[in-house]
Amino acid sequence: MVIQMIEVEHLYKRYGNILAVDDVSFTVNDGEILGFLGPNGAGKSTTMNIITGYLSSTSGTVKIDGYDILENPDQAKKRIGYLPEHPPLYLEMTVKEYLNFIFDLKKVRFPRKPHIEEICRLVRIENVYNRLIRNLSKGYRQRVGIAQALIGNPDVLILDEPTVGLDPQQIIEIRNLIKQLGKNHTVILSSHILSEVQAVCERVIIIAKGRIIADDTPENLSRNLSTDHSLTARIAGPRADVANLLKTVPGVKAVTCLGAREKGVFEYIIEPFENARDIRPIIFERLAQRHWPLLMFKSNELTLEQIFLRLMDNAENNKQLFKPVNETKSEALSGQAAESDESAEKSQEEALSLSTDNQEPDSGQTLKDKEEV
């Protein structure tokens, strides 16, 4: 039987005029690792703070293993280990003193020494065990924060951006640790890094402007969103001829030349029709026939920002069609496009691929250096 470890129902949180959490409902089964994905200010931390009982919701209920966090806080909180966004550390304590304090605070019944030692081994902080937290680096502080959440071996772990501030080696370690913990714990972890969530989580909830806009497995999410993926190709050959050739390939909707990359080599963005079959082999064959070498060929993978844009657009379209889909809400979406523009400052190519991926609403838009062929 599947046990629902966390049940969140119709959660709202209002800060003055701002609706930080807007009708969030989901359940997490025992042993599931759930990723909470969203841009800054999406309401991830607020939702987590409400689940752990640090904040109260304006309305809605949270149940941990059947215990309501407001009506039965002792029982519910006993089952939660929480790593907040900012690890809650007393700087003037040593790691040893701090973990013993948390051990007392949580009224843990396990034998003290072996329990704390085991956790320290798990998160690799044995070598700083006797040092003041004040003198630890951010990565170590983060790990002490994780250790703190693990004390008492709670059923539910709620980790708010657990890998922030860690170096790549540590990030991999912590991800593996979370995966390992997920075998006998229920884990919610928040992140704004898509790959992290993909690597660790079995299920992803995407949240933006306080609303859940997607709730699915990472695979489904990227599959559903990447059906009409555009391709980037770098081809050596005369520009106009190559473009014309590409346009004749069945399934190609539009071809855009991004300009020369090397001498005689041009880069193109190829947009297939929606639900078209894979056009890559045909393109390869046609180019080969003409002896135009294909120097680079990749599908433009969706970044988190693009997934957001997609979901926003989907939601917007649904709204226009008056479809009562639960993830449509007008004001939640209007500002989102502007927000994701910030992320597009990186490179020209990315900016372009972003706008082509997002063709439905603004396909008429042309960028300065984008030359329609």
Residues whose CB is less than 8 angstroms from the CB of residue 51 and which lie 6 or more positions away in sequence, other chains included: 6, 8, 62, 64, 69, 80, 158, 188
Q: Which residues of 232-261 are buried (b: 16+ CB within 10 A; e: fewer)?
A: bbbbbbebeebbebbeebeebbbbbbbeee
Residue of 12, 55, 164, 360 interacting with other proteins (CB under 8 A): 55
Decide: is 82 part of the binding site for other proteins (CB under 8 A). yes
**Number of Cβ within a 10 Å radius of residue 285:** 10
Least Å from the CB of residue 31 to other proteins: 22
> How many of the chain's residues bind other proteins (CB under 8 A)?
30
Residue of 8, 89, 171, 269 interacting with other proteins (CB under 8 A): 89
Least Å from the CB of residue 131 to other proteins: 14
Across the chain, how many H-helices and E-strands are there? 15, 15
The CA distance from 198 to 191, in Å, is: 11
Decide: is 71 part of the binding site for other proteins (CB under 8 A). no
Residue of 10, 18, 56, 323 interacting with other proteins (CB under 8 A): 56
Decide: is 218 part of the binding site for other proteins (CB under 8 A). no
The CA distance from 373 to 357, in Å, is: 18
Residue of 7, 9, 23, 97 interacting with other proteins (CB under 8 A): 97
Residue of 18, 66, 71, 104 interacting with other proteins (CB under 8 A): 104
Where do the DSSP E strands lie in 161-289? Answer: 186-191, 203-208, 211-216, 231-236, 252-262, 265-272
Q: Which amino acid is at 130?
A: N
Decide: is 109 part of the binding site for other proteins (CB under 8 A). no
Residue of 18, 105, 260, 296 interacting with other proteins (CB under 8 A): 105
With beta carbons less than 8 A apart as the criterion, state whether 339 and 192 touch: no
Measured over the CA atoms of residue 44, residue 50, residue 54 and residue 57, the dihedral's sign is: positive
Stretch that binds other proteins, among 81-89, 169-177, 194-202, 286-294 (CB under 8 A): 81-89
With beta carbons less than 8 A apart as the criterion, state whether 272 and 228 touch: yes
3-class state of residue 149 by DSSP: helix
Residue of 31, 41, 60, 88 interacting with other proteins (CB under 8 A): 88
| First and final C-alpha spacing in the chain | 59
Q: How many CA atoms lie within 13 A of 211 on its CB side?
A: 17
Decide: is 209 part of the binding site for other proteins (CB under 8 A). no
Least Å from the CB of residue 159 to other proteins: 13
Decide: is 90 part of the binding site for other proteins (CB under 8 A). yes
Stretch that binds other proteins, among 29-37, 67-75, 166-174, 319-327 (CB under 8 A): 67-75
Between residues 13 and 329, which has the closer beta carbon with respect to other proteins? 13
Stretch that binds other proteins, among 94-102, 190-198, 202-210, 244-252 (CB under 8 A): 94-102
Decide: is 140 part of the binding site for other proteins (CB under 8 A). no
Residue of 9, 78, 96, 202 interacting with other proteins (CB under 8 A): 78
Q: Using CB under 8 A, list all residues that contact other proteins.
A: 15, 49, 52-56, 73-75, 77-78, 80, 82, 84, 86, 88-93, 97, 101-102, 104-107, 148
